[in-house]
Structure 1
Amino acid sequence: MELSMTDKYKNGDFALRLSLLKQPTLSHSLKGIKHGVEREALRVSNSGNLAVTSHPKVFGSALTHEWITTDFSESLMEFITPPETDVDKTIGQLSDIHKFVNESLDDEYLWPLSMPCFVDANTRIPIAKYGSSNIAKMKETYRKGLHNRYGSMMQIISGVHLNFSLSDEFWQHWCPALGLEINKHTISEQYFALVRNFRRMAWMVPYLFGASPALCSSFVAHKKPTHNFSTLGNGTLYLPYATSLRMSDLGYTSSAQADLKICSDSLVNYVESLRAAINLPAAQYEHIPTGEDGNWQQLNANVLQIENELYAPIRPKQVAEYLEKPTDALERRGVSYLEVRGLDVNPFSPVGIDAQQIRFIDAFLLYCLILPSPELSNDDHRFSKQNLGSVVLNGRSPVATIETAEGSVSLKLHAQSIMCDIMKIAEVLDEVNETALYTEAVKQESQKVDNPALTFSGRLLDILLENDVDNSALGIELAKDYNQIFTPETYQFFEKQAFESQTTLSNEKRESIEKQDDCDFDTFVREYFSMACA
């Protein structure tokens, strides 16, 4: 019996699903793709050392400010843009935030690299503080746990997160075309299909956008050498073909998480496996105090204190309400957006990311969505981990390979094949947006596949080697250059008055939260973790 078109689309290959995406109703809905950026940046002194001052009061409360907050440390700022469909508007909003921050910092600068600046062995990296409320104390305690588990140096590595979502209009056409009902479960399953394919090809992100082939020797001064580093300048270490040391075992890693297999096959399985990790005791953390005699040095002694501790290159997300756990938000309302986390800070952009990157990632994520996506096998998990690990350390090697079910293949040839398909997605995006910027973005990224020297990591390392300059010296030079770039520019989307209003409003919100507390911190933590999803 001949299959219906619905069955053909549901079970079809990339070419068939691409033809579905090209249909006018579906292609038009792609104009509704939304993005938001979360950019992390260390504050540094005029000499390029870590600024250990408190989060400046001019930026209001880090607990409640909409656009400017802190991450792990008082020294590590985080800038957040709201979801927008216009890529240039997102970059413009991020530029406005950088402009206000640069104008407001007193003899300090924003570090333009992912790997930290020089940090003296005696430097005490200040853990972020958020006020006296229970939720503020919880955020601080979580960060104390990160310090006690992994050390503070690992936590001041900077990255960029790109949030991505498809419109309701898209799902209203896509789901029925595959014979699926339109509800939170089917939409979530489609997002998870995208996530699975992204994990299969996650190595593409550090290859193209990795920008940390080198680091300051102070970063590994307390560690046993695990890599055969070369040296340049007065104290910069590098690997000749590395793309992202930030994503290597020197960066965001956890031995306790090494054996975790957080399931991406369905929303239910993802939530269950993530909750299991949060409730799984970890012997190596048992010695760290968890509230005994009021001594809170971590939230619990489990593999994950909370969901945010999971290190992953992409996360399915749902906007959580006040005091709502992320897994509860997902279970109640399903996936509403994806957080792409594998991006290094782009040192060639004053705001750490550029519009070309976002447009390429749009096309890449759509490719991951419409490509058939079977459940991840044990081999898939192994290949994903192995490929990511090899690319971050050796991705620009002329003999770099990728492991697949068919065996080891040339990274260059495999990436070229993928790029050909991504280009077809970019053509659809160009047509509906009446532009040529998406295909141009893919063309530019494809050139990096043909010539690794054009990658961010290749360009950065060439600058360091040609000038025999330290990572730290280049970083502070770029930081000062970018500081000057923003000075004469006018605000594009956020007026200066809006930032000043946010300072006042965020402080008022923080004070209101503090007044609402009706129990001690011990009780608050116990009740938070005992609350079941209703």
Structure 2
Amino acid sequence: MSTLLDRRLTWLAGANAHALFEGRRLGLERETLRVAPDGQISQIRHPPALGAALTHPFITTDYSEALLEFITPPLANAEEALRFLDECHRLAYEHIGDELLWAASMPCIVAGEASIPIAEYGASNLGLMKHIYRRGLAWRYGRIMQVIAGIHFNFSLPDIFWAAFQAHEREQSSLQDFRSGAYFGLIRNLQRFGWLILYLFGASPAVCKSFLDGKSTALPEFDDHTCYGPYATSLRMSNIGYTNRTEKKSGVNVCYNSLAEYIASLTQATVTPWPAYQQIGVKVDGEYRQLNANILQIENEYYTSMRPKQPPQDNEKPSLALQRRGVQYVELRSLDLNPLDPLGTNSSQLRFLEAFLLLCLLHESPPLDAEERRINDDNQMAVALSGRDPRLILQCRHEPNLPLRQWGARLLDQLAAICDLLDGGEPGGSYALALAEQRETLADPERTPSARILAEMRASGENFFRCTRRLSEQHRAYFQAVPLASERRQFFTEAAAQSWQKQRAIEAADTLPFDEFLGRYFLADRQL
């Protein structure tokens, strides 16, 4: 008996899938720390020549003034996205002096909490809100966790695909509701199968002891300055990295079974007070410590491997944008920076991810219950900490547990037909080659980025800090070897100037006291 996936693939094979997929878009968001030559986190403000972090569409800051974020627009393919990202790097190196862009996800050297400057966004109410939100993160989780860097992969399919897919599925809802429901099916499957991404692309098997800030760890020592996981793939995605521990303790579970349930459960977390945060206080001695004392200050505080996204209009809340206009794209957030690649990623990886997300979309995706959510979380943690252990067995909800390689091989076999569709039936196409590369990585854990990084450290006799600094210096030389083309420099110069004009306009338009501005923003919860 054919599965739902088989039937959908058969339909696509006869429906000119290459044309249906033609308008798909992908984008990248790459975070990277600016570090001083000695490896310390930069104390220098965000360079004004790179534009206003509040309003620049392509170059901004994440948690810290030193944590750059490069954002590509939605583009047609991996090559275009990587080209744009490359230009952002070359531009940045023209304006950061002798600093380095740190090649790894995990930071080093961290001289305590005070060494991490919180990002500033100007004098407007909106800019102050963004800054206070980050203050709240510091009070709740500490600053050190906030400077972990990653690369986000944004993915969407065109309306022509959604209309054809809806007709094939004989769904009677609106196209917007059908698209949102299908994207949520994709997200649920990403939670089921996303451990494979950590195995194949995890690139944070070691951590500088300064990141641990004196906290105890079960990780063995690589040397006096580095701890590592012998079989770890992504310490960034483990309990050592960026996690939402409070949401787990509070019993709030964000539900991905439908858009309505997602909005309701996420909103509940943003309006429910949490005793530990009430003890911190919100406005103390006239200064805000956090935006509120709820489980989540705002929706973006909830950390997850994938988010449904709809670009907000003005200062619209993300959940309100989703409710009004549905899901426009998904954002994959579980990717480590690969220190062995100057851009932190490459075209083969991006092609594989396109195919993988299509598999998650087309595969049957029943609702998640509490037990399966626990299983998914346990599998992700196991692979993050021990994914290269040949003895690792993963939990399955409705069948016997499976060794990682056996389950991974099954998923890669299912990807073959999707890669063939993306290649337009061309033998040996780029998507088929990307899949073949990951088949080799699944079969041989020593080919994974995490194993290659540990091998690089052992071969060079360098700990995590020294190895990453050397790779960062090599990448700087790569970007500086070929200057940015003059017309592209002009493009970014104009974008920076426009961002400053827009920030000044936002500041000039403010009429409300900040307390009232904040109150009105949170009143939007009543519209949900």
The two structures have a TM-score, normalised by structure 2, of: 0.96
* Separation in structure 2 between the aligned mates of residue 66 and residue 143 of structure 1, nearest angstrom: 20
Secondary structure of residue in 2 paired with 1:192: helix
- 1:28–1:432: 8 Å Cα contact kept in structure 2? no
Instruction: Work out whether 1:276 is the aligned partner of 2:272.
Output: no
Partner of 2:34: 43
From the superposition, tell whether residues 40 and 250 of structure 1 become closer, same or farther in structure 2 (CA, over 3 Å): same
Q: Distance in 1 between matches of 2:112 and 2:209?
A: 11
Q: How far apart are the structure 2 equivalents of 1:97 and 1:85?
A: 18
2:439 is matched with 446
Partner of 2:240: 250
Q: CA deviation at 1:490?
A: 5.0
Tell me whether 329-338 or 41-50 shows the greater mean CA deviation: 41-50
1:413 is matched with which residue: 406, 410, 435?
A: 406
Q: Which residue of 1 aligns with 2:469?
A: 476
Q: 1:170 aligns with which of 149, 161, 164?
A: 161
Q: Which residue of 2 aligns with 1:394?
A: 386
Per the alignment, residue 155 of structure 1 pairs with 146
Check whether the contact 1:110–1:479 (CA below 8 A) recurs between aligned residues.
yes
Shift of 1:363: 0.5
Please show how residues 47-62 of structure 1 align to structure 2 within 5 Å: 47-62=38-53
Alpha-carbon distance in structure 1 between the residues aligned to 2:91 and 2:431: 30
Q: Does 1:533 align with 2:523?
A: no
Partner Cα distance (1:212, 1:393) in 2: 10
Q: Pairwise mapping of residues 337-486 of structure 1 onto structure 2 (< 5 A)?
A: 337-405=329-397, 406-431=399-424, 436-486=429-479
Q: Shift of the alpha carbon at 1:12?
A: 5.0
Change (3 A) 1:37 1:368: same
1:13 shift after superposition: 2.0
Label 1:151 to 1:162 Cα distance change in 2 as closer, same or farther (>3 A).
same
Contact 2:113–2:142, Cα closer than 8 Å, also in 1: no
Asked if the contact 1:239/1:393 (under 8 Å) is kept, the reply is yes
- Kindly provide the amino acid, as one letter, of the partner of residue 457 in structure 1: S
- 1:233 Cα offset (Å): 3.8
Change (3 A) 1:307 1:217: same
Task: Give the Cα separation in 2 of the matches to 1:122 and 1:528.
Answer: 30
SS in 1 for 2:171: coil
Structure 1 counterpart of 2:133: 142
Determine if contact 2:18/2:422 at 8 Å carries over to the other structure.
yes
Decide which of 15, 19, 26 is 1:24's aligned counterpart.
15
Q: CA RMSD in A?
A: 1.7
AA matched with 2:501: E
Match of 1:5?
none
Distance in 1 (CA, whole Å) between partners of 2:23 and 2:338 is 26
Indicate the residue corresponding to 1:326 in structure 2: 318
1:470-510 deviation per Cα after TM superposition (whole angstroms, max 9, x unaligned): 11111111111111111232547970011111221111110
Q: What is the rounded CA distance, in whole Å, between the counterparts of 1:336 and 1:310 in structure 2?
A: 19
Gaps (5+ residues) in structure 1?
A: 1-7
Matched residue of 1:320: which SS? coil
Contact 2:244 2:302 survives alignment (8 Å): no
Does structure 2 retain, via aligned residues, the 8 Å contact 1:92–1:492? no
TM-score, structure 1 as length reference = 0.95
Q: Report the equivalent of 1:116.
A: 107
Give, in angstroms, the shift of residue 103 of structure 1: 2.0
Letter in 2 for 1:471: F
Residues 41-60 of structure 1: per-residue CA shift (max 9 Å, x gap): 00001121111111111112
Mapped to 1, the partners of 2:77 and 2:426 lie a distance apart of: 10
Q: Which runs of 5+ in 2 are unaligned?
A: none
Q: Given the alignment, which residue of 474, 488, 512 partners 2:505?
A: 512
For residues 392-450 of structure 1, what are the alpha-carbon distances to aligned partners after superposition, in whole Å with 9 as ceiling and x for unaligned?
A: 00000010111002232111111011110012211110116897110111111111110
* Correspondence for 1:132: 123
Distance 1:308 1:290 in 2: 18
User: SS in structure 1 opposite 2:423?
Assistant: helix
Kept in 2: contact 1:363–1:422 (CA 8 A): yes
Residue 115 to residue 280, structure 1, CA distance change in 2 (3 Å): same
SS of match in other structure, 1:215: strand
SS of equivalent residue, structure 1 residue 500: helix
The range that moved more, 102-111 or 462-471, is 462-471
Which residue in the other structure is 1:4 paired with? Answer: none
2:65 to 58, 74, 96: 74
What code does the residue aligned with 2:234 have? S
In 1, distance between residues paired with 2:44 and 2:486?
Answer: 29
Give, as a single letter, the amino acid of the residue that structure 2 aligns with 1:386.
Answer: D
Distance 2:69 2:341 in 1: 16
* 1:38/1:160 contact within 8 Å kept: yes
Deviations 1:181-211 (A, max 9, x none): 4421111001111111111111111111110
Alpha-carbon distance between aligned partners in 2 of 1:493 and 1:238, rounded to the nearest angstrom: 43
Amino acid at match of 1:334: G
Contact 1:55–1:75 under 8 Å retained in 2 = yes
Counterpart CA distance in 2 for 1:294 and 1:494 is 48
Give the whole-Å Cα distance in 2 for the aligned partners of 1:525 and 1:123.
Answer: 27
Aligned to 2:115, the other structure's residue is in SS state coil
- Answering whether residue 310 of structure 2 is matched by residue 336 of structure 1, we say no
Secondary structure in 2 matching 1:24? coil
1:69 touches 1:79 (CA, 8 Å); kept in 2? yes
Aligned equivalent of 2:493: 500
1:347 Cα deviation from its structure 2 partner: 1.1
* Structure 1 residue matching 2:389: 3-state secondary structure: coil
Tell me the alpha carbon deviations over residues 28-81 of structure 1, each in whole angstroms, 9 at most, x when there is no partner: 111221101000000001121111111111112100111110000001000000
Deviations 1:287-310 (A, max 9, x none): 223134532111111111111101
Structure 1 residues 172 and 44: CA distance shift in structure 2, 3 A: same
Alpha-carbon distance, 1:522 to partner: 0.7
Query: Residue type matched to 2:450 in 1?
Result: S
Cα separation, 2, equivalents of 1:375 and 1:234 = 47
After superposition, the Cα gap between the structure-2 partners of 1:494 and 1:448, relative to the gap in structure 1 and judged at 3 Å, is: farther
Amino acid aligned to 1:254: N
Displacement, 1:26? 3.5
> Alpha-carbon deviation of 1:174?
0.5
Question: Any conservation in 1 of the 2:351–2:431 contact (CA below 8 Å)?
Answer: yes
2: CA distance between counterparts of 1:22 and 1:281? 51
Q: Report the CA distance between 1:466 and its aligned residue.
A: 2.5
The 1:72–1:433 alpha-carbon spacing in structure 2 relative to 1, beyond 3 Å, is farther
Q: Cα offset for 1:383? A: 1.0
Superposed, 1:67-106 pairs within 5 Å as 67-106=58-97
> Is 1:159–1:343's contact at 8 Å kept on the other side of the alignment?
yes
User: For the residues of structure 2 that align with 1:430 and 1:305, how far apart are their CA atoms?
Assistant: 44
Partner residue in 2 for 1:3: none
Letter in 1 for 2:437: Q
Q: Is the 8 A contact 2:166 2:175 kept in 1?
A: no
